[in-house]
Amino acid sequence: MKAVQFDAHGDRDVIEYDEFPDPEPDRGEVLVDVKAGALNHLDIWTRRGLPGVDLEMPHIPGSDAAGVVEAVGEGVTRFEPGDHVAVSAGVACGECEFCRSGEESLCVSFHIIGEHVRGVHAERAAVPAENLVPVPDDVDWEVAGSASLVFQTAWRMLHTRADVEAGESVLVLGASGGVGHAAVQIADHAGCEVFATASTEEKLSHAETCGADHVIDYEATDFADEIAELTGKRGVDVVVDHVGEATYPDSLRSMAKGGRLVTCGATTGPNPDAGLNRIFWNQLSVLGSTMATPGEVDDVLELVWDGTFEPRIRETLPMSEAARAHEMIENREGFGKVVLKPDSEF
Residue 300 falls inside a structural domain = no
**226-284 pLDDT per residue, tens:** 999 999 999 999 999 999 889 999 999 999 999 999 999 888 888 898 999 999 999 99
Q: Name 87's bridge partners.
A: 132
Q: Are residues 155 and 141 in the same domain?
A: no
Report pLDDT for 98: 98
Residue 301 falls inside a structural domain = no
Report pLDDT for 119: 98
Domain residue limits at 119: 2-147+311-345
- The residue out of 288, 303, 327 marking a domain boundary is 288
**68-109 pLDDT per residue, tens:** 999 999 999 999 999 999 999 999 999 999 999 999 999 999
Rounded CA separation 161/179 (Å): 15
Q: For position 232, which CATH number holds?
A: 3.90.180.10
How many C-beta atoms lie closer than 10 Å to residue 278's C-beta? 14
Q: Are residues 249 and 131 in the same domain?
A: no
Contact call for residues 95 and 76 (beta carbons, < 8 A): no
For the chain, the three-class secondary structure string (H helix, E strand, C coil) is CEEEEECCCCCHHHCEEEECCCCCCCCCEEEEEEEEEECCHHHHHHHHCCCCCCCCCCECCCCCCEEEEEEECCCCCCCCCCCEEEECCEECCCCCHHHHCCCHHHCCCCEEECCCECCCCECEEEEEHHHEEECCCCCCHHHHCCCHHHHHHHHHHHHHHCCCCCCCEEEECCCCCHHHHHHHHHHHHCCCEEEEEECCHHHHHHHHHHCCCEEEECCCCCHHHHHHHHCCCCCEEEEECCCCCCCHHHHHHCEEEEEEEEECCCCCCCCCCCCHHHHHHCCCEEEECCCCCHHHHHHHHHHHHCCCCCCCEEEEEEHHHHHHHHHHHHCCCCCCEEEEECHHHC
Q: Are residues 168 and 268 in the same domain?
A: yes
Our measurement of the distance from residue 23's CA atom to the centroid of its chain's CA atoms, rounded to an integer in Å, reads 25
- The residue out of 288, 303, 330 marking a domain boundary is 288
Question: Which of 201, 286, 301 minimizes the C-alpha distance to 240?
Answer: 286
Q: Is the peptide bond before 311 cis (omega within 30 degrees of 0)?
A: no
How many domains is the chain built from?
A: 2
Rounded CA separation 202/44 (Å): 24
Q: Are residues 165 and 52 in the same domain?
A: no
Our measurement of the distance from residue 205's CA atom to the centroid of its chain's CA atoms, rounded to an integer in Å, reads 21
- Output b/e per residue, 203-223; b: 16+ Cβ within 10 A: bbebbbebbbbbbbebeeeeb
How many C-beta atoms lie closer than 10 Å to residue 233's C-beta? 9
Residue 138 falls inside a structural domain = yes
Q: What is the pLDDT along the chain (346 residues), one digit of tens a residue?
A: 999 999 999 999 999 999 999 999 999 999 999 999 999 999 999 999 988 889 999 999 999 999 999 999 999 999 999 999 999 999 999 999 999 999 999 999 999 999 999 999 999 999 999 999 999 999 999 999 999 999 999 999 999 999 999 999 999 999 999 999 999 999 999 999 999 999 999 999 999 999 999 999 999 999 999 999 999 999 999 999 999 889 999 999 999 999 999 999 888 888 898 999 999 999 999 999 999 999 999 999 999 999 999 999 999 999 999 999 999 999 989 899 999 999 998 8
Q: Are residues 269 and 332 in the same domain?
A: no
Contacts of 207 (CB under 8 A, 6+ apart): 172, 175, 176, 181, 184, 196, 198, 215, 335
Report pLDDT for 32: 98
Bridge-based pairing state of the strands 29-38 and 214-217: unpaired
How many Cα atoms within 13 Å fall on the side-chain side of residue 118?
19
Rounded CA separation 307/53 (Å): 37
Q: Are residues 141 and 9 in the same domain?
A: yes
Our measurement of the distance from residue 117's CA atom to the centroid of its chain's CA atoms, rounded to an integer in Å, reads 17
Residue 117 falls inside a structural domain = yes
Q: Are residues 6 and 135 in the same domain?
A: yes
Report pLDDT for 268: 83
